[in-house]
């Protein structure tokens, strides 16, 4: 992005960023797919070539995070290793290889009046992404917006300031090599929180806001934004164990869903066990969790299991993002579904079962953005869904839901063709 001299005038800086983004979006809307792919491939090459530089930038952010007293989970989100940088490169290449959604005909039909009507995918325009400690979001969000023909304004967290800037430089290098507007992917050049407030109210320039972060950030965005928001507030993820569940599968799935990475939104936070499965599968799963160092906050029916702690009402509907899980016995499947409806966050919920009728009932009646069957909830991720990456997960019911990839970053228009048709 071109230099901005006066960093103290945040409204002026953000207005200029918005103006440039809107101009870039107008050009991206009709950019050929091959050029977008070229930019993403070049960006991937730049990230890998400059990985040592990115790691050094990340060290500055880690030091800042330690001084700020970030939790272990937040520090883990912030950390970039060579392996994680390779993941960023793979994500950029995967997005580059995705089918371009822009211009795709979703539906078409003819009317007796002589009209031929097509519903065609179009970019949203300008996307604002506000995120906290994960610097990889810089690459994921930038790439997905470019792929879907949108310009993007990235506002990374103060914790990831240096890492995000190093990754952003690589994205701009890709744009430059493909001859695309460098303003297509802009990074807000200040840690000043006033930039967030400005971005949330830029109705003349921004078409949608996507927050990536904790409850505090998302709540702030949802309260203050004057443009539409794609977001989830919390990942209160449930796993229901049916009596028909396979014990080996259940143990493997629950352990992965809770312990693989505890600080992500797809981590399991509550275990619901059918009363007929308590003395068999339930006992084994809870003992394994305890042995793995997970604090199991159990209801009265499960407290006889050694190593569990007593659950309170506050544990139902709690997102721990830590090695803690709530556990509760339910009378039947409908009681599990009722619990999820009351305490869930419409993010991701799972059933472990072999009984097809039980599975069908759960899938039909649990209206979360993602409903898993015999699969770890840690698969709640756009990359794992084959989208290359995700800009976030949305739990709303308007427009975008679940992992938001390039296709969900588009809208549509109607193209109507005729041969001189007039309306009678």
State the CATH number of the domain containing residue 57: 3.40.605.10
Residue 5 lies in a domain: no
Domain assignment present for 174: yes
16 inside domain? yes
Which helix (H) or strand (E) covers residue 63, if one does? helix 51-68
Residue 2: CB atoms within 10 Å: 8
Strands 348-352 and 237-241, how do they pair? parallel
Residue 2 pLDDT:
46
DSSP β-ladder status, 393-394 and 402-403: antiparallel
Q: How many domains does the chain have?
A: 2
Structure tokens at 31: 């950019």
User: Are both 53 and 116 inside the same structural domain?
Assistant: yes
pLDDT tens across 301-348, in order?
999 999 999 999 999 999 999 999 999 999 999 999 999 999 999 999
Say if 405 falls within a structural domain.
Answer: no
Q: Are residues 42 and 101 in the same domain?
A: yes
Is 411 inside a domain boundary? Answer: no
Residue 3 has pLDDT above 70, yes or no: no
Last residue in a domain, options 197, 215, 231: 231
- Taking each helix axis as running N to C, give the angle between helix 136-147 and helix 161-178, from 0 to 180 degrees, rounded to the nearest 10: 30
φ, ψ dihedrals at 273, nearest 5°: -115, 125
| Structure confidence at residue 231 (pLDDT) | 87
Structure tokens at 148: 């879907």
Name the residue with higher pLDDT: 133 or 249: 249
- As a dihedral over the C-alpha atoms of residue 363, residue 364, residue 369, residue 370, rounded to 10 degrees, the angle is 10
Check pLDDT > 70 for residue 1. Answer: no
In a domain, 391, yes or no: no
- Domain range for 333 is 238-379
Please identify which residue in the block is written with the tokens 């199991």: 296
Q: Are residues 278 and 220 in the same domain?
A: no
Answer for the pair 14, 188: CB distance below 8 angstroms, yes or no.
yes
The enclosing domain of 276 has a CATH number of 3.40.309.10
Res. 73 pLDDT band, cuts 50 70 90: confident
pLDDT in tens, 212-251: 888 888 899 999 999 999 988 899 999 999 999 999 999 9
What is the distance between the alpha carbons of residues 123 and 100, in angstroms, rounded to a whole number? Answer: 11
Q: Are residues 83 and 155 in the same domain?
A: yes
Tell me, what's the pLDDT at 4? 52
Over its C-alpha atoms, the chain yields an Rg (Å, rounded) of: 23
- pLDDT band for position 7 (50/70/90)? confident
The neighbouring-strand residues paired with 153 are 128, 186
Of 231, 265, 298, the residue that ends a domain is 231
Q: Are residues 49 and 189 in the same domain?
A: yes
In this predicted structure, the answer to whether residue 6 has a pLDDT above a threshold of 70 is: no
pLDDT in tens, 22-42: 999 999 999 999 999 999 999
* Claim to verify: residue 35 and residue 79 sit in the same structural domain: yes
Q: Is residue 393 part of a domain?
A: no
Q: What is the pLDDT of residues 378-405, one digit of tens each?
A: 999 998 998 888 888 999 888 889 999 9
384 in a domain, yes or no?
no
- The CA distance from 406 to 147, in Å, is 6
Final residue before a domain boundary, out of 231, 247, 270: 231
- The helix/strand/coil state of 241 is strand
Q: Are residues 227 and 288 in the same domain?
A: no
One domain, residues 188 and 118: yes
This model's pTM is above 0.85:
yes
Q: Are residues 41 and 187 in the same domain?
A: yes
Are the C-beta atoms of residues 226 and 248 closer than 8 Å to each other?
Answer: no
pLDDT digits (tens, 9 = 90+) for 357-386: 999 999 999 999 999 999 999 999 998 998
- Residue 293 in contact with residue 284, Cβ under 8 Å? no
Domain check: are 192 and 65 in the same one?
Answer: yes
Only one residue has tokens 């995700």, namely 390
24 and 173 inside one domain:
yes
Same domain, 223 and 302: no
Question: How big is the CA angle at 139 (ends 82 and 380), to the nearest 5 degrees?
Answer: 90
pLDDT digits (tens, 9 = 90+) for 141-158: 999 999 999 999 999 989
Report helix, strand or coil for 323.
coil
């Amino acid at each position: 992005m071109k230099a901005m001299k006066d960093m103290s005038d945040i409204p002026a800086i953000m207005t200029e960023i918005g103006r440039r983004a809107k101009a870039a979006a107008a050009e991206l809307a009709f950019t050929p797919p091959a050029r977008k792919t070229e930019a993403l491939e070049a960006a991937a090459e730049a990230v890998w070539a400059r990985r040592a530089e990115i790691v050094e930038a990340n060290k500055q952010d880690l030091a800042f995070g330690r001084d700020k007293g970030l939790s272990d989970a937040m520090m883990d989100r912030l950390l970039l290793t060579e392996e994680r940088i390779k993941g960023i490169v793979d994500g950029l290449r995967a997005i580059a290889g995705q089918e371009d959604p822009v211009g795709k005909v979703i539906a078409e039909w003819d009317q007796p009046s002589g009209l031929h009507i097509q519903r065609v995918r179009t970019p949203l325009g300008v996307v604002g992404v506000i995120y906290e400690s994960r610097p990889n979001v810089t690459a994921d969000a930038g790439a997905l917006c470019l792929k879907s023909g949108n310009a993007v304004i990235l506002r990374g967290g103060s914790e990831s300031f240096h890492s995000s800037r190093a990754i952003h430089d690589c994205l701009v290098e890709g744009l430059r090599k493909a001859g695309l507007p460098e303003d297509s992917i802009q990074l807000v050049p200040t840690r000043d929180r006033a930039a967030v407030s400005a971005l949330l109210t830029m109705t003349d320039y921004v078409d949608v806001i996507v927050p990536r972060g904790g409850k505090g950030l998302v709540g702030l965005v949802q309260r203050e934004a004057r443009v539409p928001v794609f977001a989830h507030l919390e990942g209160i993820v449930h796993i229901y164990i049916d009596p028909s569940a396979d014990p080996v599968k259940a143990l493997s799935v629950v352990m992965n869903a809770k312990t693989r990475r505890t600080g992500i939104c797809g981590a399991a936070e509550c275990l619901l066990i059918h009363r007929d499965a308590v003395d068999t599968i339930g006992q084994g799963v809870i003992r394994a969790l305890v042995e793995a160092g997970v604090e199991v906050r159990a209801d009265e029916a499960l407290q006889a299991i050694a190593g569990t702690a007593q659950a309170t009402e506050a544990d139902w509907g709690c997102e721990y993002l830590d090695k803690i899980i709530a556990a509760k016995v339910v009378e039947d499947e409908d009681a599990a579904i009722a619990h999820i409806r009351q305490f869930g966050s419409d993010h991701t919920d799972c059933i472990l079962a072999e009984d097809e009728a039980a599975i069908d009932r759960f899938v039909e009646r649990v209206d979360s953005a993602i409903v898993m069957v015999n699969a770890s909830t840690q698969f709640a991720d756009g990359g794992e869904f084959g989208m290359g990456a995700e800009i976030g997960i949305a739990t709303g019911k308007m427009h975008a839901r679940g992992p938001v990839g390039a296709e969900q970053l588009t809208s549509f228009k109607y193209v109507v063709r005729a041969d001189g048709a007039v309306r009678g």
